[in-house]
């Protein structure tokens, strides 16, 4: 018989899952320690992931838009179209007609929404940063992040992916895999409610809080990539806990819920 992750966490298939407690600082400290241990184990097992899979800073930015609600294989087809059209540059997108941009990125889906969103990014770049990615990159996170978030088609995950992977700002990124893992391991009590993005990134921040600040961006970079790696390999809608390296933590999750 294959046990579910809840059953593994409970250690007894007949026990009901414990109701989760409120987030308090003690829980968060415990969870951040566990999360850090999970990261260290994944790093030892999978090695450095060296993200983002892109050839240039601007390609990272385009990829962050294109990957929304889409598998990376589809993104690669769009990126190949952009390359073939010679449009994989700020100038290339700036001078492209919206119809041709829409056509190039069609393989990654939601192209009628993503094309104007990418154009809006270029408008922001031209308006506030004189068209310079270097100038945008040098802008403090606290000033740049709200500007990115104000753009159409940019939520926290896209904004943070651009900040971290294109510009090297030390901000954590949380995605659906991390949300699922944090929920299944009870790292943040949810009471059945979808975990908030900000709670996920705060927890990541805490997991690396004792590291030197200049190392933080590199660690957030690897952390997110490792979470995606384990998520893809094991933590899909139907979790494969039996073969997952993070299985050891499920019993810890149950212990924490009981104390």
Q: Which stretch binds ligand SF4 (CB under 6 A): 125-133, 190-198, 209-217, 238-246?
A: 238-246
Q: Which is nearer to ligand SF4, 28 or 185 (CB)?
A: 185
CB neighbours of 207 closer than 8 A, spacing ≥ 6? 32, 33, 35, 36, 39, 223
Considering the rule CB under 6 A, would residue 208 count as an interface residue with ligand SF4? no
Q: Which stretch binds ligand SF4 (CB under 6 A): 10-18, 120-128, 206-214, 230-238?
A: 230-238
The least CB distance from residue 257 to ligand SF4, in Å, is: 15
User: Applying CB under 6 A, which of residues 34, 156, 244, 256 lies at the interface with ligand SF4?
Assistant: 244
Dist CA 184 CA 90 (whole Å)? 41
Count Cβ atoms within 10 A of the Cβ of residue 157 and give its class: 0-12 exposed, 13-18 middle, 19 or more buried. buried
Q: Which is nearer to ligand SF4, 189 or 239 (CB)?
A: 239
The least CB distance from residue 248 to ligand SF4, in Å, is: 8
The least CB distance from residue 8 to ligand SF4, in Å, is: 7
Burial 1-40 (b: 16+ CB within 10 A, else e): eeeebbbbbbeeeeeeeeebeebeeebbebbbebbbebbe
Q: How many C-beta atoms surround the C-beta of residue 118 within 10 A?
A: 24
Q: Which is nearer to ligand SF4, 66 or 173 (CB)?
A: 173
- For helices 111-129 and 57-66, give the axis angle rounded to 10 degrees: 140
Binding to ligand SF4, residues 158-197 (CB under 6 A): 181, 184-185
Catalog residues that contact ligand SF4 under the rule CB under 6 A: 5, 181, 184-185, 230, 234-235, 239-241, 244, 246-247, 250
């Amino acid at each position: 018989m294959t046990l579910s992750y809840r059953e593994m966490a409970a250690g007894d298939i007949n026990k009901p899952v414990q109701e989760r407690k409120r987030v308090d600082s003690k829980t968060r400290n415990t969870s951040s320690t566990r999360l850090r241990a999970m990261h260290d184990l994944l790093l030892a097992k999978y090695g450095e992931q060296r993200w983002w899979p892109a050839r240039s800073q601007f390609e990272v930015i385009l990829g962050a838009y294109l990957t929304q609600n889409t598998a990376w294989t589809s993104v690669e087809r769009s990126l190949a179209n952009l390359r073939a059209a010679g449009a994989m540059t700020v100038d290339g997108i700036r001078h492209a007609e919206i119809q041709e941009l829409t056509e190039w990125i069609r393989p990654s889906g939601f192209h009628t929404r993503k094309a104007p969103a990418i154009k809006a990014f270029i408008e922001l770049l031209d308006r506030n940063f004189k068209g310079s990615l270097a100038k945008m990159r040098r802008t403090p996170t606290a000033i740049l992040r709200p500007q990115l978030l104000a753009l159409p088609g940019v939520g926290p995950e896209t904004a943070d992916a651009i900040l971290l992977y294109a510009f090297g700002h030390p901000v954590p990124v949380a995605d659906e895999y991390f949300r699922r893992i944090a929920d299944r391991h009870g790292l943040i009590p949810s009471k059945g409610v979808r975990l908030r993005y900000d709670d996920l990134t705060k927890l990541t921040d805490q997991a690396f809080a004792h590291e030197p600040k200049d190392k933080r961006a590199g660690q957030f970079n690897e952390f997110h990539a490792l979470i995606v790696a384990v998520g893809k390999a094991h933590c899909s809608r139907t979790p494969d806990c039996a073969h997952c390296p993070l299985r050891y933590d499920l019993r810890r999750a149950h212990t924490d819920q009981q104390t």
